[in-house]
A and B are shown apart, each in its own frame.
Chain A
Amino acid sequence: DAGVIQSPRHEVTEMGQEVTLRCKPISGHDYLFWYRQTMMRGLELLIYFNNNVPIDDSGMPEDRFSAKMPNASFSTLKIQPSEPRDSAVYFCASSFGGPYSNQPQHFGDGTRLSIL
């Protein structure tokens, strides 16, 4: 089975530009998570969806960030306008259960984002 697929793997862009990160979860999983990982902050849960519906976006840093899940097999995380402090590795994960269930979350390989 294919795992969680994220694209692009790397993104380098100038500040002020719009950035769109994409994720295809594992087929059949009903939860999808977006995380951000930096050296300073470690791993942060940004938002998660259940059956394509955003359940909690309290981890989203500010209005410049938005996430959508138009269907069960696709999600996007958008940053507009991007800033250098957004530079991080962004992970998408999916699972059968929520963040507090005993079902493991399967992570994608991440998108390494650099904002110049």
Chain B
Amino acid sequence: AQKVTQAQTEISVVEKEDVTLDCVYETRDTTYYLFWYKQPPSGELVFLIRRNSFDEQNEISGRYSWNFQKSTSSFNFTITASQVVDSAVYFCALSPLNAGGTSYGKLTFGQGTILTVHP
């Protein structure tokens, strides 16, 4: 069985602060994908990043960065210089990778972290 835990239910910051959203996962699979999704108040689910379990390089995309540490089963997400538009629910997710290198559809999500950025 696989499980994703986002311990922070809600985070509130003021604009321009940096904020880190934690994600810890459990899986018996040796290969897997990790994801982050954003769900803004409008309700749609927006894909942010996918990371293979065998690629532990950290990634930066603009103000977003991700820190993957297999040793601690964590895949944390940092927003630098947060903006009001970053206010949303953020979901971390996990899916197994089969031997062919394509993922199954069985996405398991964390509970989500509600991020509120105040002006």
The chain A residues found within 8 Å of chain B, CB to CB, are: 3, 39, 42-45, 47-48, 55-59, 93, 99-107
Contacts and interface: CB of A to CB of B under 8 A. Distances in A.
Interface SS majority for chain B: strand
A1 to B, nearest CB: 13
A103 to B, nearest CB: 8
Contacts of B109: 42-45
B85 interface: no
B106 A45 contact: yes
Contact of A104 (B4, B46, B104): B46
13 contacts: A39-B111, A43-B112, A45-B108, A55-B105, A59-B106, A59-B107, A99-B47, A99-B107, A100-B50, A102-B46, A104-B45, A104-B47, A107-B39
Interface of B: 4, 33, 35, 39, 43-47, 50, 91, 103-112
A56 B105 contact: yes
Contacts of B45: 93, 104-107
Contacts of B47: 99-104
Nearest to B107: A45
A56 B104 contact: yes
Contacts of B111: 39, 42-43
A42 B107 contact: no
A42 B44 contact: no
